[in-house]
Amino acid sequence: MISLSRVKLIGFDSMGTRSMATVIETDSYKIFIDPGVSYAPYRYGLPPHPVELSTLEKHLNTIYSEMIDTDIVIISHYHRDHYLYRNIEIDYYRNKILFIKDPLNSINHSQRIRAYVLLNKNNVKNIVKELHIADYSKHNLGDIEISFSPPVPHGIENSRLGYVVMTFVKTRDFSLLHASDVQGPIEDKTTDIILRYNPDILIISGIPTYFEGYRFKKEDLEKGLNNLEYIVKNLKPYSTVIVDHHLLRDLDYKSKISRVLEKGLENNIKVLTAAEYMGYEVKPLEAMRKILWRGGNQ
């Protein structure tokens, strides 16, 4: 496993907040992908428990601290669990190299508005050191290479949730692909792109099984599960797959991906959550909300 001083996972769902905040440190750069965190306003008809709120504050403070000496910030898309957007947070972008999901193309209406507010109303485009559109691009920066995928669906093609860009970072020591909010991946073309990168570490948003029968058909979720299993089967041996985010909103997440875990064992691939990667206890607080409000395990 790559040293935790090189790859730090800050606020994933397995740690108690909605997030895929990831810090990568190389010899020359500190890179922060998706520096945001949020919570579900309601789950099971219940508001966030105080434990969730205190965890959110803790993760936000860690994000702020890590952002201070970050060189490169990457925003995969404009959902509020993936970037800093509050007025009091804007100065954290100052003098950074900023790579962003294209705010005008392959983007839905709500994210287009959020991108406009961030870049124009909050003036981020004028306070950063450099601003780059990430989609499709590749950048050689001394000892590292950063590449970005084409825009890929946020789950299902043509869903109302729009598109995201995946981030590939290659250093002298390892390669990492951050596959934000691909939800499985459900789409085959996203699966193909991931396997073309063939990273040492894959950080991926798993299937949203908690939405089965509501926003997602069973067959769509099954397709996402099949694609993740196919990825684990075809990555090079001794890779690490960190599957988290949407998947960890289901308390029964392990049984839902049991065959993926089995495939990992067969092929010498580590398949684990962000919390497990960081050596923490898995605490999917949103999925535990009913338990928390009943005064259960905290």
pTM of the model: 0.95
Q: Taking all residues of the chain, what is their mean pLDDT, rounded to a whole number?
A: 95
- CA 6 from chain centre, in angstroms, equals 17
Of the chain, the percentage scoring pLDDT greater than 90 comes to: 90
Residue 197 has pLDDT above 70, yes or no: yes
Q: Is residue 2 part of a domain?
A: no
Q: Is residue 80 part of a domain?
A: yes
The CATH number of whichever domain residue 94 belongs to comes to 3.60.15.10
Count of domains observed in the chain? 1
Q: Is residue 298 part of a domain?
A: no
Q: What is the pLDDT of residue 5?
A: 61
Residue 176 host element (H or E): strand 175-179
Residue 224 has pLDDT above 80, yes or no: yes
Q: Is residue 56 part of a domain?
A: yes
Q: What is the pLDDT of residues 22-31, one digit of tens each?
A: 999 998 999 9
CA distances from 19 to 82, 101, 234, 244, 268 (A): 6, 17, 27, 9, 27
Q: Is residue 244 part of a domain?
A: yes
Closest CA to 16 of 55, 47, 45, 54: 55
Residues 37, 17: contact at Cβ < 8 Å?
yes
Q: Is residue 163 part of a domain?
A: yes
Residues 16, 62: contact at Cβ < 8 Å?
no
Domain that holds residue 227: 7-293
Q: Is residue 81 part of a domain?
A: yes
Q: What is the pLDDT of residue 151?
A: 97
Query: Cα 288–153–217 angle (5° rounding)?
Result: 55
| Residue in the structure block whose two tokens are 């705010």 | 103
Q: Is residue 1 part of a domain?
A: no
- Mean pLDDT over 161-185 rounds to 95
